[in-house]
Structure 1
Amino acid sequence: MPRALIVEDEPLLRAELRDQLQLLWPSLQIAGEAGDGIAALALITEQQPDIVFLDIQMPGLNGLEVAQHLPARCQVVFVTAYAEYALSAFDAGAVDYLVKPLATARLLQMIRRLQARGAAAAPPAAAVWQQVFAPPPSYLKWIKASAGNTLRLLLVSEIDFFQSEGKYTRVASAGGASLIRLSLKELLEQLDPAQFVQIHRSSIVNLHAIERIDKDGTAMYIRLKGGHGSLSVSEAFARQFRQM
């Protein structure tokens, strides 16, 4: 079982790296942690790790200076916010060089590289790989809507809001109103949640279409850009706007 040390002067980043390594490389033993270069050298001497994850900018000795004192058998991976040190890091014998913030796919690439060099360990669970390499969600880009006898092809990002009207859903945009047969529930499953939010059981609004939010006592209204009217926000959905 390979043993590793984490050397990082920021406690939160140190904890983040430890948690990700424990998830992605379960058989890797984290034998210790240090927050500066001097403490790192003492810990390396005590623990004799197989791998050291090493920050560069630290109090006392920096990471490049610490790397010069590592045993020959110890593999080093630099983890830093400063890409400009990469050449010096590889000159110091680094197996890899990770730039913060750490991407999970990049960590997996580093783990495979370490394992190929002899730090043998079981790979992450299949579910982890599936999560990392799962394709990004695909959201609705275009929609066909009826306006009288005309079938309109609308760019979803340019729609101001959707509103239930009996068996249909009204689609409001700069070009006017039209109708579709999709329900609001079906739409919510296909719309980008970073752009569209439900504000009422019968309404979904495009956040980019909002000009301002008005409050009248406990009532809340969304005013749309371009003088396209207003929409009521029900109490059940008002929380997401209270900090605006």
Structure 2
Amino acid sequence: MGNVLLVEDNPNAVKKIVQYINKISSESAVVSFAEAGAALQYAKDNEVSLFILDIQLEDYKGTSLAKQLRQLPEYKYTPIIFETALAGEELSAYRDVKCYSFLVKPFDEEEFAAAFRDAMGLSSQMNQRARTIQVEQKQFILEYTVSDIAYVESFGKRLAVHINHRISGVKEDMISGYTLAGMLTLLDDPEFVQCHKSYIVNKRHIEKIDKPGRQIFLKGFAEPIPVGNKYQSALWGSL
């Protein structure tokens, strides 16, 4: 069922929610934090299948944490359940963060179980739909999760596929027999755009853009990616 990240600063509420989850699924690992900042760092370093966020936290609001999580490509659609005693926050949460469900304190075990089961079911379906591509290389086949590919770089008749996975980190594979145009066709994903005669980038991984300098910076990579004059209008217009 994957990791459940619970962000709640009330110890009694944490204990109750963990008990509820353990009754529903012994396979779900629950990790809890009282502060949003520590929870955000954990999410960056680990895979999380479901977030349960209290809106009123010790350091800053759970809705602010959720917005930060939504800015991370891997959590753009991950289910979020908010819990709070302030029912008036509900509309803002749904509109601004697109949370999956909302629990108003005090909630009972039946209410929690219904929201939890539905959210974990959605998370499971999303994980199963993570699209992959296969690249044939002589006597073996390389398989990549499309969303993990940060950019592809051309070196004549060879391509460098640069991967940034939130757990295993950054790596590079050299492949042959493919052109940038052929790789774009294989990827078949509107998030991938050609930004230079030698580069394809995944917009999900863009961290910063420098229009005057005609370059972009990707998360996890120190070196900037150049933006060619021929491609800049289309790229800036798509961001």
Tell me which interval the TM-score lies in, with the shorter structure as reference length: 0.3 to 0.5
TM-score by length of 1: 0.46
- TM-score for both structures, normalised by structure 2: 0.47
Find the structure with the greater CA-based Rg: 1
